[in-house]
Structure 1
Amino acid sequence: MEGLCQGVVFPSVHTLISAWVPPNERPVLGTCAYTGNQFGTIVMLATSGLLAASPAGWPSIFYISGGVGCLWSIVYFIWGASSPATYKRISVEERKMIEMAQATEAVSEQPKEKMHTPWLSFFTSPPFLALIAAHSANNWGFWTLLTEIPSYMKNVLNKDIKSNALLSALPYFAMFCMSFVFSAIAMQLNKRNCISTVTSRKLFNTIGLWVPMLALIGLAYVGSDQSNLAVILLTITVGFNGSCYLGFQINHIDLSPNFAGILMGITNCVGNIMSIIAPLLVGFIVTNEHDVEQWRIVFFIAAIIYLVGNGLFIIFGRANVQKWNDPPAKPRRNSTPQVESQH
């Protein structure tokens, strides 16, 4: 039930970014929005061991994280808005600035319920299929590490539960910080008009997937007696993955501002299938959690998927609004018969 409910979060966030954020600010502000995901990961990984060992026991992990989610929902229900036009507290100047920036894009003025969703165009579009591949590759590596790092640190690196919790959070703290570093770089490139939008997307996506790919290959050959080096490589792997927020993560809005939420829903669905398969495959491969060679296979598989996913994004990825972004509206059916002309 939690998974079903959370499935709407990313598509909703993409729809809000498309409606609220001017095109030239989307990479940076989109990164700011999505780094909240890493912030929550950092807090819960770092404190879960302490909470489990507290008098409240392991259920406190669920009570606290669930309670924070409920509190956020109330706050957002009070102060959130779907668009600048529906937000009462925005100034006239800011709303006009956003709306004028949005007008430079091919954003349809038709009411959403009248727009025909071009499903066939989605799945016959090479840029969108490449986007699915990049999102799936990212999720495979991300969730392989997120679900397996604690086990790897405990059984291979021989870390105790308290240091394990803090060290498990370290890579995601690095990702949180590096996301802002990459955002600052992207902001400077944007101000100086150094590179095109599509080049920027591919550059940051390559940093976010291929640098971790190289780190995973290195991690595959780290012995159990080199725990510090393993932690450094894990931190690099996850930390540089934050560059993807400026790559594929925002590319849905580039391709189609009108259907950004739907596109994110599709790629996130396929990506989450990868998130399910990856830990299951790890469980199938790693029958002995103390065996470094079995973990090596896991890291190599993730590295190969990173290689292929970003390779397809480099070849077929685009950052211009696609022609199917603004399809013709479905014709209305008139309830009254038309009178034929007598002339």
Structure 2
Amino acid sequence: MKDKLGQDNVKTFREYPFSSGTAAEKPAGAESQYLLASSRVLRPAFLVLPEGRENRPPVREPGSTAAGPCLVRSEDWLRQGDTLFAAWLSSGDGPEADLALRRIYYRLRDEAAALLGSPDGEWAAVSLPAVPELASRPDRLAELQDILLEALFNALAEQQREGGDSRLDLLAPHPASAHEFAAAREFIETVAEQTLGHRFAAACHIGALIAPDIRPAAAEEIARIADFLVLDAGAADGDAPEESAADLVAAAEGILAAVRGVKPAAVVLAAGGRAAAALADLYRIGLNGIFCGADHRTEALLRAACLVWMDRHEGVDAPYGRL
């Protein structure tokens, strides 16, 4: 399973467009969609991708490729405008809790179908729920993550049966070590095998949503077994003061150096309002792109397009020549 997943990882992320999310035109002679083929410069493309299920772009034109996944934090699904999740959290154990959990499953399954369903197929990267209230109850958190995965995989299977081309990536939230990430990955794979069987390897990839304060050595070890990494810089549309954005860049630079030291082609993105505020510096150090919410997306697209244009037309080599 893991060998096949590793082979498919490159395939998935090569489907991203070359620009900052505004076009999907492939430069002549390029071998990988994460590389700009040029005698002067070799650097990853930089992507500006949506965060939040309500911020997905309109349905793309028939025949075009997906611009990349939309990042969805599953705890947002659970908390937004619904008392069912709060009731489950306070219900403890027993039949009442089991009934509430099944009702949450049915709601998540409907929302997952809406997220993934479209005539052209949709691409989503969904993080497993991170619920502080369950920090002392890993058994209940595992139950919640299990029903989320079951809902996602059943929705994906239904799309596939109908001939759709939906894509689903998954993120383990805030692992502190390679051991924690490996356990999360094994859990995801087990549920996927039970639900999707061999189709999982062709449709899903597993990454890590890592905190900026993670030790670079830990990020390095996680990167060895993760299909991609997303640096979590907070809420998509939250405030991003300049000083906190600077802290994010400093952390990202250390993490990226450690990760690329052992996995030069690793896909590393950032997510959240601070990532949008720090876009130019994240581009400079070589991140593959950012996820951001609607409040920051237009400005981020314009800034990224300017940076890409300058890189291609002004002959800037180092420090952008590293991968």
The higher radius of gyration belongs to 1
Question: TM range, normalised to the smaller chain?
Answer: under 0.3
- TM-score, normalised to structure 1, is 0.26
Q: Which has the higher contact order (CA 8 A, sep 6+)?
A: 1
Return the TM-score normalized by structure 2.
Answer: 0.27
Greater helix percent: which structure? 1
